[in-house]
Amino acid sequence: MNKRFLIWVLFLTFSLCNAQNRNVKLVGGSCEGCEAIFEYQDKVLSSIDTLPLFNDNTPKLKLSGIVFEKDGITPAKNVIIYIYQTNRRGIYQTKGNEKGWARRHGFIRGWVKTNAKGEYTFFTFRPGAYPNRRAPEHIHVTIKEPSKNAYYIDDFMFEDDPLLSNSIRDELNNRGGSGIVLPKKNGQVHDVSRNLILGLNIPNYN
């Protein structure tokens, strides 16, 4: 291939890509760390995932629910959900060889992709509050729809957490719906049910 022609093709491709990116309307506003949703590498995602250290910690949690389209009725399939959390001491635990966002999020994290019924399930354990006790126990959540950029929704927080004050509740935006949940003991695992609605209270969402 003629070198000059190849350079022209590359320039044209680069220009078209930039033009397309400028026309993409991002939803959800800024989202530091949302790139971590793509760090599952070669893992084949299913609708169920078990986070590291699940077997070693209590209380054990089963987080599950259905993801709905914005109408709140239609199940949303092929939606990637990424969560990460602290250990029981309130630390984002690392092993020392982490790359990317795992250096900040730690290795207690997981990914699922909703099935045809919009269902998702994570098996994990209840995180600890930060050592300074300035924030309630929480599990971070990021969403990636097939046709949208990644965006965060409200964290999982726990109704029975004494650190979940009225002032903190008032500041929540209910992105994707309320994240405040009440675990219900079911044998050795506490069930946590939370349905998600795509686009609910998400800025610039169409």
pLDDT in tens, 18-70: 433 444 458 999 999 999 999 999 999 999 999 999 999 999 999 999 999 99
CA of residue 185 relative to chain centroid, distance:
24
Tokens encoding 96:
């020392």
pTM (whole model) above 0.75: yes
Domain covering 33-197 in this structure, CATH number: 2.60.130.10
Task: Write the CB contacts of 165 (distance below 8 Å, at least 6 apart in sequence).
Answer: 136
- Euclidean distance between CA atoms 119 and 141, whole angstroms: 15
Which residue(s) pair with 122 in the sheet? 49, 63
pLDDT-based confidence at residue 120 (cuts at 50, 70, 90): very high
Domain ranges of the chain: 33-197
Output the pLDDT for position 206: 81
